[in-house]
Structure 1
Amino acid sequence: MFWEKKLAQWVSQVREKTNLPARLVLWDGQQHDFGTFSRPQVTLKVNTAAALPLLLDPSLDHLGEAYVKGKIDIEGKLSDVIRIGYSLARSTVTHASKLARIRRYFTHTKASDKKAIQYHYDVSNEFYKLWLDKNMVYSCAYFENGDEDLDTAQLKKIDHILTKIQLQPGRRLLDIGCGWGALVLRAAQKFGAQCVGVTLSENQFELATQRVKDAGLQDQIEIRLQDYRDMAGQFDRITSVGMFEHVGLKNLPLYFGKIRELLADDGIVMNHGITSSDFDSGETALGGGEFIDKYVFPDGELPHIGLALEAMQRGGLEVLDIESLRRHYAHTLALWADNFEKCAAEAEKLVDDEKFRIWRVYLAGCAGLPQGRTTGKHTALVAPPYVRPSAVTEPSQRDAGQFHLFDEPAPAGTPPAAGAAPPPTRASRGGILPARADAHCARLAAALPPTVRLGTSSWSYPGWNGIVYGDEYSDSRLSRNGLAAYSAHPLLRGVSIDRTFYAPLTIGDYARYASQVPDTFRFTIKAMSSITDATVRGERGMPGEVNPYFLDADLARREFIEPCMQGLGHKAGALVFQFPPLPDAWIINPAAFVERLQQFLGALPRVPDGVVYAVEIRDAILLTPRLMKALRASGVRYCVGIHARMPSVQRQAAALARLDDDAPGPLVVRWSLHTGLKYQQAEAKYAPFDQRVDEDRGTRDMLAALAARYALAGQSVLITVSNNAEGCAPLSCIALANAIVTQCSQAA
């Protein structure tokens, strides 16, 4: 009775706002009309009272779920059904909470991505053949004239992409998310390219492989059942069509970074995908995203085009051209939905009733979207930043793909400036020249105890030209290939990978770094903040909701420790759990934090000899005997963090002595920030990090004395220095090495 009363009130409210030619028929025969008409265009049959809670909150998510679960049936032309469904849909909560986004972020592991892809694409090849074009292209078509049929428009789309990337015979093309192989087949047949296509769908892999064999193109095309993150090698051109929707918002910079890694320096990329109209990359006003996430594309996330462009740049790519295909996509969706309705009887035989209902409402619903207010469709032509378009003028030229890209090498034959030292003649792997050898640094390195490894926080700073690197290079190029030249410096025997604090890396990422450095080199790696930050940070780093993954040992093992150890092996030196300032709830009860921390540390897997776990804090109040006792019981080191929020090196060394209890263990130090400065202030003051601006002799001398004590006790010493310590980390390392050698000599 309660729900029926609510239902009558809802129908009355709808009638007051609009006049819809729709009728609601309940399971007991009762009827409610949403407007005045002689005959309804659409009839919603409610099969059970269990549908009423969904109808009374009629977002697209709830209406779709009610239909899929058989709680309601619909009669009428499907386009009319969808139109009325949109009219009934009320605005619901439009933006996923940060907590929900965290959950989505952590679903994007290789295993979960493979499962999600197979859920969607492995329905059956025969099912997709019914309503796609003859080449089975499952992405937005290109209607050059507007009157093309779907088969023609899909071929034009592929040609449009391959023309814009200037594909030529013999060039190596990688297609990420290759589907059933249509693009690589066209690229090989018409453009003469050498192609590799990767997919996570077993059905797509099998059919694409067979199609390549049937076309006799095995010598030109290779289809792989492989995650793009595990790819290696270099390609002249890369295409990603309808794939980056599956990557996840948080993973976009890593996705584009991987593309940059696989791309030749003079290469070109075409990224083609669906985007969100919401500036925060959230849900649309009418809902629908939850339904799609639950029933159609598990873990799919649509970025706003602005977020996508930012991620491309963070990944080391420059945007050359953007093209909106929203109208093309709307027409594509309409043709797919129409094809599906025409073959509905055949489709029902290939899948179960629920799957059939899912696809029917999904395709019709997408075709009926109020285009422009919900989603967009964009292609982005991108390249490394040292590739430039020479003829990007009128829109007609862009649409025709008339680009002429070229390298911009330095003028040949230019003599060096008077008095300049001759440049190094041998580049490291990846084309990065190391700085010219310095005799003073070589002597220091020889005098430094072999157990002492100094390094910097990251290595991709163009301002280090002449100090670490022998020429000017972009930060993205140094990030990708700079470690070989970096490790050629005699005093830089280690480095800190800081980007892992923001997002996890893959085994392949770690392995690439390890391959560039000698066996004696050691990495310090920071765990993700999603494990060590008790809150979910909002704008400007302000704490927000409670982080449900705080001190999650299973997540740490799966996303941080195992990829790190498998990729770096014995070159992993210290795995550091850096804890940002904790919320008051933990600060007023530090014993509770220490207890929780000890439980977490005790659940971590053992690491090989020579590798240590270390804990770094940013709350001085936690620097207690209780903490040191817990670390000692867990076999974990305390990381001396030199930071404005922490006490002096001397005081931290005293606390460290409680941990060691006259039996010193490995020393881990991170010199992060100059005393009295905030991070942003230091960044602004010291950029471009090519000189020591604020010499901090007191900190350096205390640190040198501490390092010498541990080195003389035979323990390994791993110290990383940030540019924000004094202005230029490599120069700080040289000064610190000199101080350590002096301390060791005096002690001897």
Structure 2
Amino acid sequence: MPHTADRLAALARQVLGRPSPIRIRAWDGSEAGPPDGPALVVRNRRALRRLLWSPGELGFARGWVSGDLDVDGDLYDALTRLSGLALNRDEPVPAGPVADVPRARIAPVARVREAGRTALDAARPMATMLSLTGLPMPPPTPEEEVRRRRGILHSLRRDREAIRHHYDVGNDFYALVLGPSMVYSCAYWDRPDATLEDAQRAKLDLICRKLALGPGMRLLDVGCGWGSMALHAAEHYGVEVVGITISHEQADLARKRVSEAGLTGQVEIRIQDYREHADGPYDAISSIGMAEHVGRTQFRAYADTLYELLRPGGRLLNHQISRRPVANEAAYRVDEFIDRYVFPDGELAPIGTTVSVLEEAGLEVRDVHALREHYATTLRAWVTNLESDREQAERLTTPGRVRVWHLYMAASALAFEQNRIGVNQILAVKTPPTGHSGMPPTRTL
């Protein structure tokens, strides 16, 4: 009788119509598939039951987070190979970073039928799967998965709950991953020998210069995180800053850092939603890695709010991840791994959509700066930080949460490298009726 790995490899071939692109190691120690490179480790029958009950990305995610599925070897290489399992590779991945796994939502039987084979051919993979899974009962979902969500999508209460899921997992955990800068967004690698800390400092300084900050000016930092932008702007450019976040853990640490820097009279950190803020006008607004949480239904209101908070001639720097456009935007869906485990209710938009909405709100877009490759480098640095002290990371959160972050960051790095998602700094100005924007005549940054 064939070993379990041979049967799994045969199953993969039946479903894909070609051999598995990655070596398979089963729970009985058997292996099959390409001898080189990493191995996909199927630790138990429960992993197959997860895939049976949730074919595609969600089943894979549950298997990964629970530890039922693993990779032995280079995770980047494994994810690149697994991306070849996707159907419809000409259709861009909507939002999620997990290579092309989102395209694998289609069940095994349907895959075989799409390949033009007979009903008997279509039934064989399911029969093989059932024979391997044992009792085909649905396994419990990992505790790290978002369960029931309350309220209307992107209501104040629901957005607070979504932010808590992602950001309130412990400041010490974030410090381990992000490093001393405590900046959770794309760094700016302006020289080849830069460290992560150097690159994050360069990013913050780039934004300050784009906003033309100076002493006596007022800056609003929307989604201020742990206060790094507010601290940099106040210390190096002499501005007064109001930073707002709806994460209590972020606000607590941000206030502590402000106090330790002796900037309490210059920087105020508030727990406040941008929709509840009416303390303008501001000379400048920075929004760094926050707009991804706003959602399509609220993005115009977001742009209108920031427009109203700016004084005439004031500038906005919107730093935001973008996705590739799809043929039918109305059918766009957030991928399940991201929605269930990483950013609940988060949504990405094509860069053209973001620019259009900002302009519709009355802002004049003056510059778009693509930083896609910079984010890939940043994510790889975060993965290195996580891998270098994984045991401590697991003590600070849970092993499952660490597995979520490892997969999410590694796969995101590949998505940026392969131009499936991007990140852009959009500089806009509230140009007054006179038409004098106050912008320099040439681009110097």
TM-score tier, shorter chain, comes to 0.7 to 0.9
Q: Which amino acid aligns with 2:386?
A: F
* Partner secondary structure for residue 274 of structure 1: strand
2:33 corresponding residue in structure 1: 34
Q: 1:43, 1:74 within 8 Å by CA — same for their partners in 2? A: yes
* Partner secondary structure for residue 264 of structure 2: coil
Check 1:244–1:378 CA distance in 2 against 1; reply closer, same or farther (3 A cut). same
Please give the TM-score of this superposition, normalised by the length of structure 1.
0.48
* Partner secondary structure for residue 333 of structure 1: helix
Check 1:157–1:55 CA distance in 2 against 1; reply closer, same or farther (3 A cut). farther
Q: Which amino acid aligns with 1:25?
A: R
> What CA distance in whole angstroms lies between the structure 1 residues aligned with 2:49 and 2:316?
49
Q: Which amino acid aligns with 1:376?
A: G
* Partner secondary structure for residue 368 of structure 1: helix
In the alignment, structure 1 residue 324 sits paired with structure 2 residue 370:
yes
Q: 1:248, 1:299 within 8 Å by CA — same for their partners in 2? A: yes
In the alignment, structure 1 residue 11 sits paired with structure 2 residue 20:
no
> What CA distance in whole angstroms lies between the structure 1 residues aligned with 2:191 and 2:172?
30
Identity of aligned residues (%): 38
Q: 1:276, 1:282 within 8 Å by CA — same for their partners in 2? A: no
Q: Which amino acid aligns with 1:81?
A: A
User: Residue 253 of structure 1 is aligned with which of 300, 321, 325?
Assistant: 300
1:204 corresponding residue in structure 2: 250
Q: 2:416, 2:422 within 8 Å by CA — same for their partners in 1? A: no
Shift of 1:280: 6.1
* Partner secondary structure for residue 263 of structure 2: coil
* Partner secondary structure for residue 417 of structure 2: coil
User: Residue 396 of structure 2 is aligned with which of 350, 360, 378?
Assistant: 350
User: Residue 122 of structure 1 is aligned with which of 168, 180, 187?
Assistant: 168
Q: Which amino acid aligns with 1:195?
A: V
1:388 corresponding residue in structure 2: 437
> What CA distance in whole angstroms lies between the structure 2 residues aligned with 1:80 and 1:56?
27
1:291 corresponding residue in structure 2: 337
Shift of 1:105: 11
Structure 2 portions without partners, runs of 5+: 96-148
1:76 corresponding residue in structure 2: 73
In the alignment, structure 1 residue 140 sits paired with structure 2 residue 186:
yes
Check 1:123–1:7 CA distance in 2 against 1; reply closer, same or farther (3 A cut). same
Structure 1 portions without partners, runs of 5+: 97-102, 401-748
Shift of 1:17: 4.2
Q: Which amino acid aligns with 2:62?
A: E
> What CA distance in whole angstroms lies between the structure 2 residues aligned with 1:217 and 1:356?
34
> What CA distance in whole angstroms lies between the structure 2 residues aligned with 1:58 and 1:46?
18
Check 1:52–1:80 CA distance in 2 against 1; reply closer, same or farther (3 A cut). farther
Q: Which range moved further: 9-18 or 106-115?
A: 9-18
Q: Which amino acid aligns with 1:11?
A: A
Check 1:284–1:342 CA distance in 2 against 1; reply closer, same or farther (3 A cut). farther
Q: 2:6, 2:32 within 8 Å by CA — same for their partners in 1? A: no
> What CA distance in whole angstroms lies between the structure 2 residues aligned with 1:345 and 1:42?
22
Deviations 1:365-404 (A, max 9, x none): 212226354211011101123343654445xx2xx2xxxx
Q: Which amino acid aligns with 2:74?
A: K
Shift of 1:70: 2.9
Q: 1:127, 1:350 within 8 Å by CA — same for their partners in 2? A: yes
Check 1:209–1:95 CA distance in 2 against 1; reply closer, same or farther (3 A cut). closer
* Partner secondary structure for residue 369 of structure 1: helix
Deviations 1:343-370 (A, max 9, x none): 1111011112221221121112212226
2:387 corresponding residue in structure 1: 341
> What CA distance in whole angstroms lies between the structure 2 residues aligned with 1:282 and 1:289?
14
Q: 2:222, 2:243 within 8 Å by CA — same for their partners in 1? A: yes
> What CA distance in whole angstroms lies between the structure 1 residues aligned with 2:245 and 2:328?
26
> What CA distance in whole angstroms lies between the structure 1 residues aligned with 2:68 and 2:241?
48
Q: Which amino acid aligns with 1:254?
A: A
Q: 1:240, 1:271 within 8 Å by CA — same for their partners in 2? A: yes
Q: 2:25, 2:39 within 8 Å by CA — same for their partners in 1? A: no
> What CA distance in whole angstroms lies between the structure 2 residues aligned with 1:162 and 1:281?
37
User: Residue 226 of structure 2 is aligned with which of 172, 180, 189?
Assistant: 180
Check 1:279–1:87 CA distance in 2 against 1; reply closer, same or farther (3 A cut). closer
Check 1:347–1:218 CA distance in 2 against 1; reply closer, same or farther (3 A cut). same
Shift of 1:52: 4.8
Q: Which amino acid aligns with 1:182?
A: S
Superposition pairs of residues 103-122 of structure 1, within 5 angstroms: 106-122=152-168
Q: 1:269, 1:383 within 8 Å by CA — same for their partners in 2? A: yes
* Partner secondary structure for residue 86 of structure 1: helix
> What CA distance in whole angstroms lies between the structure 2 residues aligned with 1:326 and 1:252?
22
Q: 1:174, 1:237 within 8 Å by CA — same for their partners in 2? A: yes
Shift of 1:18: 6.1
Size of the alignment, in residue pairs? 384
Deviations 1:496-516 (A, max 9, x none): xxxxxxxxxxxxxxxxxxxxx
> What CA distance in whole angstroms lies between the structure 2 residues aligned with 1:325 and 1:337?
19
Check 1:279–1:40 CA distance in 2 against 1; reply closer, same or farther (3 A cut). closer
Shift of 1:309: 1.1
Shift of 1:283: 11
Check 1:81–1:384 CA distance in 2 against 1; reply closer, same or farther (3 A cut). same
In the alignment, structure 1 residue 66 sits paired with structure 2 residue 63:
yes
Tell which structure's C-alpha radius of gyration is larger.
1
Check 1:275–1:104 CA distance in 2 against 1; reply closer, same or farther (3 A cut). farther
Higher RCO (CA-CA < 8 Å; seq separation 6+): 2
2:241 corresponding residue in structure 1: 195
Q: 2:12, 2:20 within 8 Å by CA — same for their partners in 1? A: no
Shift of 1:119: 1.0
Check 1:57–1:90 CA distance in 2 against 1; reply closer, same or farther (3 A cut). farther
RMSD (CA atoms): 3.1
* Partner secondary structure for residue 204 of structure 2: helix
Q: 1:196, 1:221 within 8 Å by CA — same for their partners in 2? A: yes
In the alignment, structure 1 residue 47 sits paired with structure 2 residue 44:
yes
Q: Which amino acid aligns with 2:276?
A: D
Check 1:383–1:40 CA distance in 2 against 1; reply closer, same or farther (3 A cut). closer
